[in-house]
Every structure is written in structure tokens, then in C-alpha cells.
Amino acid sequence: MEPEPERGGEKLILRDKLALDRTYLAKERTILAYMRTGIAMLGLAVFIYRFMDIGLVFEILLFIVLVVPGIYATVHGIHRTLVRRRERKELEEELGLVEK
């Protein structure tokens, strides 16, 4: 039987392990929402640009309002995903939930 993981001298119980999992999954959903929103904004910008006859001023406005925030949200989501995975791995190693 494996020893219980410890953090700060206290043993983690099932409730604590499940709370960590719920927190991790909530963060993942938020990050995926950023990425989904960014991709939707980019898709809307492409649709408007491709299928609607708009002037130069509206093309620039479209770029500023949809494309820039869409790219930012998508890149931010990808970056946060990578950071969260690294943090999760470090936490699991610290708690002894996985082998190093």
C-alpha cells in the first residue's frame, strides 16, 4: 500500500484530491473558452470580409475589433494551457501523486 501524499506536513484525503481535480478542470474549461471565443471571432471576421462588400474603413475596423482580439484570445488560451499543464505536473510531483 502506498503512503498518502503529504503537503505541508498534512496528509491529503480524497476530498482534497478531488478538489484539486475540480479546480484543474475548471481552469481548463476557462482556457478552452478563451480559445473557442478567439477562433469564433476570427471566423466571423473571415466571413464578413469574404462575403460582404465593405469599404476600406470597415475593413480596418473589422481588423481592430475582431481579428486582433481573436488572435490574442487564441494565443492567450494556448499559452495558459501550457502553463497550467506545467503547474499541474509540478504540483502532482510535489504531492507525490505521480513518479518523477
Of 94 and 99, the one with more pLDDT: 94
What percentage of the chain has pLDDT greater than the value 90?
31
Interhelix angle 68-95/14-51, rounded to 10 degrees, is 160
Calculate ∠ Cα 31-32-36, nearest 5°. Answer: 125
Helix, coil or strand: residue 7:
strand
Prediction pTM value: 0.69
Neighbours of 74 (CB within 10 A): 19
In tens, the pLDDT along 73-91 reads: 999 989 998 998 898 888 8
pLDDT band, residue 1 (cuts 50/70/90) = very low
Check pLDDT > 70 for residue 7. Answer: no
HEC string for 35-58: HHHHHHHHHHHHHHHHHCCCCHHH
User: Where do the domains of the chain lie?
Assistant: 55-100
The pLDDT tens digits for 33-71 are: 999 999 999 999 988 888 888 888 888 888 899 999 999
